[in-house]
Structure 1
Amino acid sequence: MGNSTEVTFFILAAYGDLGKMKYFYFSLVLFLNLTIILTNVTLISLIFVDRSLHEPMYMFMGNLFINELYGSTALFPMLLLHILSDTHEISRAFCVLQCFGLHTYASIELCNFAIMAYDRYLSICHPLHYSSRMTSCKVCSLVVFIWVSSFIGYVITLSLQLRLPLCGNIIQKVCCANYYLVKLSCIDTTINNIYGLFNTFLSVVLPFILILYSYANILIICYKSAKETQGKALNTCVPQVILLVNFAVSATFEVVQSRFDMTHVPQFTRNALTVYLLACPQLFNPIMYGVRLTKIRTALKSRFFQLTQNKDL
């Protein structure tokens, strides 16, 4: 064991000295945060009040938008605080809490994409059995399972992390991440690494297998179907595929950044990639679904028209 100490706080060294630019970054991030809150809350409210959207696909979307708000709560308050701060210190308790929020957010995000892909697979490939297979009860069960399994998975990760004595308190990130805390350990972390691989298989590999299986079958059906059927299928699947690819690519960048020496890459670029991974889905998901899906656009226009009429009266 190395020279372990009782670590009560961490220093997020990736911020550096922002100087007067911190006010520009603060305004930019604050605008991004407010936009994320507005877009996600709007669509969550729309799905909740509009009975025409009380279908499995839109209920899963609503769960996705709720998760975006959850993820933004784990990221933005501390990010905004540290942009204005000159010390960039975070207590161990808040650091662990942020790790929990960000990691469970990412797990729920990917699992929700997998369930949405499976829902589209049932709807397109087994339309006659869709209503019996994807009931309201099953939708609720799947949503609860996604959240509970993600929380349980990371609680185990957290318990393994908290047992480690630490030999430092400097994290080269703009936010806390479990991998960086484990790297500060003074003792062997084999158990953490083994469980990390196991949890990655459950929360990343299995959802990706389900996603690939679902979309592979959808493509086969589309290839054999008439053009009208192909158009309907692609109209609902394309937004999910685009958002999934965006999430996967940005997550890959983050993994590469944390596992390999990236000191040759400017710190600002690395910080931007981290914020991109965490904030981009929260902003793009509601915008993409709001723009691409006709039923959501129609419901939005209808609600907006009702509001303007009520004001005129």
Structure 2
Amino acid sequence: MNSNNSLTDYFEFTVFSDYGSLKYVFFSLCLLIYMTIISANVVIILTVCLDKSLHQPMYIFICCLCLNSLYGSAGFFPRFLMDILSDTHFISRPFCFTQMYVIYTYKTHELTLLTVMAYDRFVAICQPLHYHSKMTFRKVLYLLVFIVLYPACMLGHLFYEFSHLPLCGYKVHRIFCTSWSIIQLSCVETAVLNVTGQFFGATLIFIPLFFVLYTYLRILLVCRKSSSKFRGKALQTCLPHMVTFVNFCISVFCEVSLSLYKVDEVNTFVIVVVSLEFLLIPPINNPLVYGLNLPQIRGVIISGFLRLQKWFRQD
């Protein structure tokens, strides 16, 4: 392993320990969680794609939310499962930056997508007569392109700068590569890069946060003046989004808070739990919240399982 200036071709994750035969238990548990994430999100994706009654903006965005969960999970779990079983925990520099890019774009895609979903609910509830003229297929397509390209381009430039940093070390005290852990290994002054990263981070987090708060304030004002039936219907469509958004913000806040501390001084168990939270909870939470709470999706899923069960009985 070469740790000379700028010649660090590999990084080593230092939080993994040798648990002996227990590592097979941890591996099985994490594999089960990963399979659950894949299965739950694929069910929602197939439900929305195959049922024409769900080809509406709200359900298309939910489908994209589940696709993003699969994307983020694929950037983390395969490598994490390998590390659980492995005796060495080295990761190549290109793969480290690739993993970092996938995980960070997953986070920003999720936040941007939840922001667009808040706009969709705002138009549907506050401007119902203009909903179909404002949320056309073309506009939904433009919004999806924006959701993908906006974070990808901003983070792409930032990670290009990270990738050219000369590094004087290779030990990363995390379970996956993070920008802050790599910056701490830099041999050169990174003040400008830190400010740039904080600016991008604030832009990607606080603008969506304030926009979502604004839309829900407007929705609450409209619901306050409406009938109880209207309020119930609005709550039914908004509650899953609110639960998902708050859950994701808490997860990201915990992850960002961890970056503010010197990781060498933080308990390893805390590092693992906080790091896993936003990669485990949202991908499991999203399909459960939308699949169980929205009667349109729940009805299609139940009828699909009943037809499948009937088909198996006939065979």
Q: Root-mean-square deviation (CA), in Å? A: 1.5
The answer on whether the counterparts of 1:104 and 1:154 sit within 8 Å (CA) in structure 2 is: yes
Equivalent residue number for residue 133 of structure 2: 132
Equivalent residue number for residue 184 of structure 2: 183
Distance in 2 between residues matched to 1:261 and 1:163, nearest whole Å: 23
Distance in 2 between residues matched to 1:203 and 1:44, nearest whole Å: 26
Equivalent residue number for residue 194 of structure 1: 195
User: Which range moves more in the overlay, 149-158 or 261-270?
Assistant: 261-270
Render the CA deviation track for 1:25-71: whole Å, top value 9, x for unaligned.
Answer: 11111000000000101110110010110010000001100000000
The answer on whether the counterparts of 1:3 and 1:186 sit within 8 Å (CA) in structure 2 is: no
* Cα offset, 1:122, TM superposition: 0.4
- Helix, strand or coil at the partner of 1:184: coil
* Cα offset, 1:18, TM superposition: 2.7
Amino acid at match of 1:131: H
Amino acid at match of 1:267: T
| 1:3-14 → structure 2 map (5 Å cutoff) | 4-14=5-15
| 1:231-310 → structure 2 map (5 Å cutoff) | 231-261=232-262, 265-310=266-311
Distance in 1 between residues matched to 2:304 and 2:38, nearest whole Å: 19
Q: Report how many aligned residue pairs link the two structures.
A: 312
Distance in 2 between residues matched to 1:264 and 1:94, nearest whole Å: 27
* Cα offset, 1:264, TM superposition: 5.6
The answer on whether the counterparts of 1:110 and 1:204 sit within 8 Å (CA) in structure 2 is: yes
* Cα offset, 1:221, TM superposition: 1.1
Amino acid at match of 2:305: F
- Helix, strand or coil at the partner of 1:309: helix
Query: Could you tell me the TM-score, scaled by structure 1's length?
Result: 0.96
* Cα offset, 1:108, TM superposition: 0.1
Equivalent residue number for residue 40 of structure 2: 39
- Helix, strand or coil at the partner of 2:11: strand
Equivalent residue number for residue 84 of structure 2: 83
Equivalent residue number for residue 121 of structure 2: 120
Q: Do the aligned partners of residues 81 and 3 (structure 1) sit closer, same or farther apart at CA in structure 2, a change above 3 Å counting?
A: closer
Equivalent residue number for residue 164 of structure 2: 163
* Cα offset, 1:311, TM superposition: 3.5
The answer on 1:68 being equivalent to 2:69 is: yes
Equivalent residue number for residue 53 of structure 2: 52
User: Which range moves more in the overlay, 189-198 or 295-304?
Assistant: 189-198
Render the CA deviation track for 1:98-142: whole Å, top value 9, x for unaligned.
Answer: 001000000000000100111000000000001000111111111
Distance in 2 between residues matched to 1:139 and 1:72, nearest whole Å: 25
The answer on whether the counterparts of 2:10 and 2:91 sit within 8 Å (CA) in structure 1 is: yes
* Cα offset, 1:276, TM superposition: 1.3
Distance in 2 between residues matched to 1:263 and 1:172, nearest whole Å: 7
Amino acid at match of 1:179: W
- Helix, strand or coil at the partner of 1:10: strand
| 1:20-35 → structure 2 map (5 Å cutoff) | 20-35=21-36
Equivalent residue number for residue 93 of structure 1: 94
Percent identity between the two aligned chains? 38
The answer on whether the counterparts of 1:168 and 1:184 sit within 8 Å (CA) in structure 2 is: yes
- Helix, strand or coil at the partner of 2:12: strand
The answer on whether the counterparts of 1:121 and 1:217 sit within 8 Å (CA) in structure 2 is: yes
| 1:222-233 → structure 2 map (5 Å cutoff) | 222-233=223-234
* Cα offset, 1:3, TM superposition: 6.0
Distance in 1 between residues matched to 2:125 and 2:19, nearest whole Å: 51
Distance in 1 between residues matched to 2:91 and 2:4, nearest whole Å: 22
User: Which range moves more in the overlay, 16-25 or 29-38?
Assistant: 16-25
Segments of structure 2 that go 5 or more residues without pairing to the other structure are: none
Q: Which runs of structure 1 show a deviation greater than 6 angstroms over 4 or more consecutive aligned residues?
A: none
Render the CA deviation track for 1:124-176: whole Å, top value 9, x for unaligned.
Answer: 00000010001111111111111111111111011110221001000000001
The answer on whether the counterparts of 1:11 and 1:170 sit within 8 Å (CA) in structure 2 is: yes
Query: Could you tell me the TM-score, scaled by structure 2's length?
Result: 0.95
- Helix, strand or coil at the partner of 1:282: helix
Render the CA deviation track for 1:260-288: whole Å, top value 9, x for unaligned.
Answer: 23656431122012111212101110011
